[in-house]
């Protein structure tokens, strides 16, 4: 009975973690930009596409190419519902070649779609040439008071290529449930 209860708890945690990512198609495994919008100010030297030739986990990812000292281009999610004054975690894996500047913009609206705040997160400085290695990135953030909807936007520019993969926004309690599950599995293995 006790083991059954534990298994039920694990199944519950796995269900929570599987549903936890608030970003639709954050892994780009549809093979296209479904769930995202993109904006390239200079169509001749900038592009945002989904490709699988340079892959992190043998699946498609987003490729942002830029060759201009002009405006930066943007890859944003459709707006999704969030809780006010709540801790979340933003996670992604990226790869960079050339001289790329990039950041992530979080934008918040209330239930009536009035803007209630934004946050800029530095990702890359164009002062450093990319080595073409996949790099995990994680950042905790807290939604402002009144936030009911939000958007995650990758902003990049410069002279190079940025690949983005497995972009996730998860509520912190789900992350903690996942860590608890890991600890539980470790304990059982001993």
Contact between 138 and Ca ion by CB under 5 A: the answer reads no
Q: Residues 21, 30, 101, CA angle at the centre, nearest 5°?
A: 70
| H-run or E-run covering 172 | helix 172-189
Mapped onto helix, strand or coil, the DSSP state of residue 177 is helix
Which of residues 51 and 59 has its CB atom nearest to Ca ion in the complex?
59
If one counts every other C-beta atom within 10 angstroms of the C-beta of residue 66, the result is 28
* 92: contact with Ca ion by CB under 5 A: no
Nearest approach in angstroms of CB 119 to Ca ion is: 25
Nearest residue (CB) to Ca ion, 61 versus 91: 61
- Which of residues 61 and 175 has its CB atom nearest to Ca ion in the complex? 61
For position 59 contacting Ca ion by CB under 5 A, the verdict is yes
Interface with Ca ion, residue 21, by CB under 5 A = no
Q: Which is nearer to Ca ion, 94 or 108 (CB)?
A: 94
Applying CB under 5 A, among 21, 23, 26, 27 the residue interacting with Ca ion is 27
Tell me: does residue 19 bind Ca ion (CB under 5 A).
no
E strands, 110-182, in order: 115-124, 129-131, 135-142, 149-171
Residue 152, classified by CB atoms within 10 Å of its CB into exposed (0-12), middle (13-18) or buried (19+), is buried
> Which residue's Cβ has the minimum distance to Ca ion?
59
Binding residues for Ca ion (CB under 5 A)? 27-29, 59, 61
């Amino acid at each position: 009975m006790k083991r059954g209860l534990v298994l039920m708890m694990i199944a519950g945690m796995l269900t929570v973690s599987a549903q936890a990512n608030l970003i639709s198609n954050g892994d780009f495994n549809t093979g296209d930009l479904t769930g995202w919008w993109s904006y390239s100010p200079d169509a001749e030297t900038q592009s945002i596409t989904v490709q699988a030739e340079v892959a992190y986990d043998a699946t498609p990812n987003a490729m942002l190419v830029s060759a201009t000292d002009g405006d930066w281009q943007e890859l944003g999610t459709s707006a999704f519902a969030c809780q006010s004054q709540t801790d979340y975690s933003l996670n992604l894996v990226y790869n960079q070649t050339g001289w790329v500047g990039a950041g992530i913009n979080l934008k918040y609206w209330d239930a009536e779609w009035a803007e209630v705040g934004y946050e800029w997160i530095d990702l890359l400085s164009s002062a450093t040439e990319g080595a073409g290695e996949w790099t995990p990135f994680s950042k905790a953030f807290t939604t402002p008071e009144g936030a009911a909807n939000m958007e995650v936007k990758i902003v990049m520019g410069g002279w190079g290529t940025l690949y983005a993969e497995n972009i996730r926004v998860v509520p912190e309690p789900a992350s903690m449930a996942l860590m608890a599950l890991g600890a539980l599995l470790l304990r059982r293995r001993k």
